């Protein structure tokens, strides 16, 4: 394959992976935007969403749409339970306490999944043909194309939700100042529940689509480690910034995996996003699209 065509292939492949990264990263950002809470168990939520959908498919004999529907209902129920029983009593605790809580919950999820889903295939069977789709001489997996298209539709819907609906406006008001939002009549607990319901749905979609791209498995929770540099690069509370950073990281990893990894022996592409993050923080500590906190003195 000529050098230019190989580069185009790597960029396209990275962009397809970046669309899934964006979906997972948005599950992190929606929680932060609403509550200023960092969910360090986002990878485990994604893994659980994928495994719940796979279980619905293989044990109930459902197709892709039905399995995603059942998985979404189950994960929304779990997210609402988590918000009501675990988070609400701790809502006034320090940020560090909430961070440690999410890490502990992630460990519990990972341990429970090995028992609950033992013996059940890790992914939903792909309904798409195995043969790659050739575009301008570049072979691209139909699984990746379909996953990227669905992810892009979900990202567009979520962007509209935050900027074109009353509930989205309320969530943005909460992100700006929870006390002011409460003063104007916004029910914080109700909107926190909506936020975690969104996390449940996004976990199912992102986990299932990543299963198409990578084959699934319990290692899917490691996807959470790719999210952290993305959301910080994009600027924690910026949806457009998160999306742009996700595509940038996906393309960067793909290009380095194609050109640099064969030279250094492999592996550098997996840490490149963190190197990019460190370099960016020296210039913009609040991220590329984030806004610095301004305090009046």
Place of tokens 């909506």: 194
Q: How many CB atoms lie within 10 A of CB 285?
A: 10
What local confidence, expressed as pLDDT, does residue 144 receive? 79
20-24, 127-131, 256-260: least confident range: 127-131
Residues 201-243: tens digit of each pLDDT: 999 998 888 887 776 555 677 788 888 889 988 887 778 888 8
Query: What beta strand segments (E) does 169-266 contain?
Result: none
Residue 81 pLDDT > 80: yes
Domain total of the chain: 1
Q: Token pair of 252, please? A: 């960067």
Eight-state DSSP code of residue 126: P
* Six token digits for residue 25: 């990263």
pLDDT number for residue 196: 92
Residue 294 lies in a domain: no
Domain at 249, CATH number:
1.10.3470
Which pLDDT tens digit goes with each residue over 262-289?
887 777 888 888 888 888 888 888 777 7
Which tokens sit at 146?
């379909």
User: Does residue 52 contact residue 75 with C-beta atoms inside 8 Å?
Assistant: yes
Q: Is the pLDDT of residue 52 over 80?
A: yes
Confidence of residue 295 (pLDDT cuts 50, 70, 90): low
Q: Residue 133 CB: number of other CB atoms within 10 A?
A: 15
Q: Which segment, 1-15, 48-62, 82-96, 228-242, is predicted with the most confidence on average? A: 48-62
Taking a C-beta distance cutoff of 8 angstroms, is the pair 81, 108 a contact? Answer: no
Could you give the angle at which helices 95-116 and 42-60 cross, rounded to 10 degrees? 30
* CB-based contact 20:162 (threshold 8 Å): no
Confidence band of 61 (pLDDT split at 50, 70, 90): confident
Mean pLDDT of 94-115: 86
How many other C-beta atoms are found inside a 10 Å radius of the C-beta of residue 268? 15
Q: If you average pLDDT over every residue of the chain, what do you get?
A: 83
Contact 243, 234 (CB under 8 A): yes
Predicted pLDDT at 6: 81
Q: Are 57 and 67 in contact (CB under 8 A)?
A: yes
Range(s) of the domain holding residue 55: 3-123+143-283
Q: Is residue 53 part of a domain?
A: yes
For 256-274, the DSSP string reads HHHHTHHHHTS-HHHHHHH
Is residue 73 very low, low, confident or very high in pLDDT (cuts 50, 70, 90)? very high
Tell me if 129 is assigned to some domain. no
pLDDT of residue 136: 63
The predicted model gives 150-173 an average pLDDT of: 85
């Amino acid at each position: 394959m000529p050098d230019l065509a190989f580069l185009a292939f790597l960029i396209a492949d990275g962009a397809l992976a970046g669309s899934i990264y964006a979906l997972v990263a948005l599950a992190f950002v929606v929680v932060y935007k609403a509550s200023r809470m960092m969910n360090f168990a986002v990878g485990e939520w994604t893994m659980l969403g994928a495994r719940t959908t796979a279980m619905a498919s293989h044990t109930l004999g459902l197709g892709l749409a039905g399995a995603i529907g059942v998985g979404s209902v189950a994960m929304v129920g779990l997210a609402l339970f988590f918000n009501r029983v675990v988070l609400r009593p701790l809502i006034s605790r320090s940020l560090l306490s909430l961070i440690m809580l999410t890490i502990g919950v992630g460990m519990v999820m990972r341990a429970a999944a090995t028992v609950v889903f033992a013996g059940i295939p890790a992914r939903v069977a792909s309904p798409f043909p195995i043969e790659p789709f050739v575009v301008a001489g570049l072979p691209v997996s139909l699984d990746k194309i379909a996953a990227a298209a669905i992810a892009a539709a979900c990202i567009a819907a979520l962007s509209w939700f935050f900027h074109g609906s009353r509930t989205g406006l309320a969530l943005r008001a909460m992100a700006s100042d929870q006390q002011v939002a409460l003063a104007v009549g916004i029910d914080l607990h109700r909107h926190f529940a909506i936020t975690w319901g969104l996390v449940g749905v996004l976990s199912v979609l992102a986990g299932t689509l990543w299963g198409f791209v990578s084959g699934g498995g319990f290692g899917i929770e490691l996807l959470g480690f790719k999210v952290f540099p993305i959301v910080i690069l994009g600027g924690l509370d910026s949806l457009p910034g998160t999306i742009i950073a996700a595509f940038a990281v996906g393309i960067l990893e793909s290009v380095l995996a194609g050109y640099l990894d064969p030279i250094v022996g492999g592996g550098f592409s997996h840490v490149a996003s963190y190197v990019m993050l460190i370099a960016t923080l020296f210039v913009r500590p609040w991220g590329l699209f984030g806004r610095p906190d301004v305090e009046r003195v």
